[in-house]
Structure 1
Amino acid sequence: MSRMLVDADAIRALADILTETGLTEIEVAEKDNRIRVVRSAGGQIVHAAAPAPVAAAPVAAAAPAPVDAANHPGAVSSPMVGIAYLTPDPSAPPFVHEGQVVTAGQTIMLIEAMKTFNQIKAPRSGTLTRFLVASGDPVEFGEALAIIE
C-alpha cells in the first residue's frame, strides 16, 4: 500500500483560487497524484486528495449532489450569465430583503453582463423567503437566484 503525501500549501492555494474566482471546484493532477478542492453549497471549502488512476470513478460520484434549489416551485432563475447585485449601487440599501412581500414585476436584483445592468424582476407576487446568491456572486444561465413563495 503506497502512502500519499498531501501538500497542504497546494490545497490552500487552490482554495484561495476558488474564493478569488468564484469557481465551485478545481482539480490539479500531476503524475500519480490528484488534488481536488470543492466548495460546498454552503460556501465551505472541502478538499480531497487522492492518487489519480486514469480509470478513476467519475468525479460527480465522489461528492454528494447539493440540493437543487432550481427545482423549487418558487425559484427565480437567472436569465443570463453575469454578476448578481442585490443593491442598485454599493452604498444603497438592497432592492428587497428576505422575508419581504414582493409584487410581480418588482425589481429584486441586478445582473451585470457585458457592462450592462439588467433588472431581475419578481415573476410572481409573494414573499421573498431566501436569496440563493450574494452581491458580487457570478451566476449562470438558469441558476436559481432567489425563492419567492
Structure 2
Amino acid sequence: MTEGIRFDPAQIRELARILRDTDLSEIELVEKDSRIRVVRQVTVAPAATATVSVPPAPPAAAPAAPATAAAEPAEAAPPPGAVTSPMVGIAYLAPEPGAAPFVQVGARVEQGQTLLLIEAMKTFNQIKAPKAGTVTRILVENGAPVEYGEPLMVIE
C-alpha cells in the first residue's frame, strides 16, 4: 500500500454494503489522488441452472430463444461512440436544478467538455467528452441512477 494514503474502513464497508444491496459486481470511488475499488466475485452456478432449465421445452421455445439470445448481446454492447459511466451513481444533465443542460442532442462538443455529472457518495463527478464530435443520442434521463459501464450518450 502507498505510504501516506489512508482509507477509511467504514467507507470501504459502506461500498461493500452498496454492492451487496444493489447486486452490483464492482464499485469504485475516486477522490483527488486516492482510489478505492471494491469488487465482489459473482458466482456462475445460477446461470448454469437456468441453462439446464431451458432445454426441456425446445419445440415451443426454439423460435423465441434465438431472438432473445441475439437481442441480449446487442443490448449489452454499448453503441459505437458511446460514452459510458465510469461509476455507479445518479446522472444529472444540468449543473443545477432549473439550469440549462450541459449538452443537447445535435450539440457539437470538444474533447474534455463536461457532458453531465454523476453523483456518487455525495460527490459530483464531471463526465467529460472523450473525443470531439456531435451528440447524437442521450441515453439517460436527468436524475436517473446509472451503473458502471452503462452507456450515457453517443458522440459521433
What TM-score results when the alignment is normalised by the length of structure 1?
0.56
**Residue in structure 2 matched with residue 123 of structure 1 by the alignment:** 130
| Alpha-carbon offset, residue 56 of structure 1 | 4.3
User: Higher strand proportion, which one?
Assistant: 1
Distance 1:86 1:70 in 2: 23
**Residue in structure 2 matched with residue 57 of structure 1 by the alignment:** 54
| Alpha-carbon offset, residue 72 of structure 1 | 2.2
**Residue in structure 2 matched with residue 42 of structure 1 by the alignment:** none
Distance 2:115 2:105 in 1: 10
User: Higher helix proportion, which one?
Assistant: 2
SS at match of 2:131: coil
| Alpha-carbon offset, residue 125 of structure 1 | 0.2
Could you tell me which of 119, 133, 149 is aligned with 1:112?
A: 119
SS at match of 1:71: coil
Are 1:82 and 1:140, in contact at CA under 8 Å, matched by a contact in 2?
yes
| Alpha-carbon offset, residue 121 of structure 1 | 0.3
Are 1:82 and 1:138, in contact at CA under 8 Å, matched by a contact in 2?
yes
| Alpha-carbon offset, residue 70 of structure 1 | 4.1
| Alpha-carbon offset, residue 103 of structure 1 | 0.3
Are 1:69 and 1:144, in contact at CA under 8 Å, matched by a contact in 2?
no
What TM-score results when the alignment is normalised by the length of structure 2?
0.54
Identity of aligned residues (%): 64
Distance change >3 Å, CA 69–CA 129, structure 1 → 2: farther
**Residue in structure 1 matched with residue 39 of structure 2 by the alignment:** none
| Alpha-carbon offset, residue 80 of structure 1 | 0.2
Distance 2:77 2:96 in 1: 27
Gaps of 5+ in 1: 1-54
Gaps of 5+ in 2: 1-51, 56-64
Deviation readout 1:71-105 (Å, 9 max, x if unpaired): 32201010000010100111101001111000000
